[in-house]
Chain A
């Protein structure tokens, strides 16, 4: 089986930086995704990491350490529209193909 943990809620100030952590335990690891989900909408793709290190994409960066089973999503220059749920998801290779499993999500609230 596998276990994915991330904080339930976080609050940050507009213009600040926030880091959302995710730890996982899984066999057959084949990559980690971060998704953003606004209330009532489908999740949208933010980042994908399969090798150790930092991937930067504009205001969003994602880091992975496979040996530690750890990832984080870094959001810079926070905007009010960044208030959303952030989902960490791990791909596991199974005999039947890829299996993408999600954590329960971190609800981020950005305040003035």
Chain B
């Protein structure tokens, strides 16, 4: 089974801090994604990457950046955390066109105080 691992399950950070959320997948998938999930809004795509060093903006990229230096690792960066970035962050990966399904990590619940 594909495993997508997110480095932290729970994280508390202060406003203005730089925050790194890490995601690693172990099945050589080309595509990786970062979503945030908020009540009533569902999962919203922040950024995605279809290859090493490639990135594409999703629907809500403002306030975030990403890094994909290695195929297995996709990092989400909050340059200066704000309270409205308190959310559940989910990483996912998929192979090729994605018909085989997207596998999600278990999520990181980030609280910005």
> What is the predominant secondary structure among interface residues of chain A facing chain B?
strand
Q: Is the beta-carbon distance between B43 and A99 smaller than 8 angstroms?
A: no
Q: What is the bound-complex CA distance between A104 and B37, given in angstroms?
A: 9
A69 within 8 A of B: no
CA distance A89 to B48 in the complex (A): 15
B63 at the interface (CB under 8 A from A): no
A88 to chain B, nearest CB (A): 10
Q: A42-B90, A42-B107 are in contact. Are A100 and B102 (CB under 8 A)?
A: yes
Within 8 A of B (CB), among A34-69: 41-45, 48, 50
Beta-carbon contact of A30 and B97 below 8 Å: yes
Q: A94-B56, A99-B58 are in contact. Are A87 and B98 (CB under 8 A)?
A: no
Question: Count the A-B residue pairs with Cβ separation under 8 angstroms: how many?
Answer: 70
CB under 8 Å from chain A, chain B span 61-111: 90, 92, 94, 97-99, 101-107
Residues of A close to B107: CB separation below 8 A? 41-42
- Which residue from chain A places its CB closest to the CB of B90 in the assembled complex? A42
Residue ranges of B at the interface with A (Cβ–Cβ < 8 Å): 30-31, 33, 35, 40-45, 48, 50-51, 54, 56, 58-59, 90, 92, 94, 97-99, 101-107
A to B CB contacts below 8 Å, 13 in the list: A30-B98, A33-B102, A42-B104, A42-B107, A44-B104, A48-B101, A91-B98, A97-B50, A97-B54, A99-B48, A99-B58, A100-B98, A105-B42
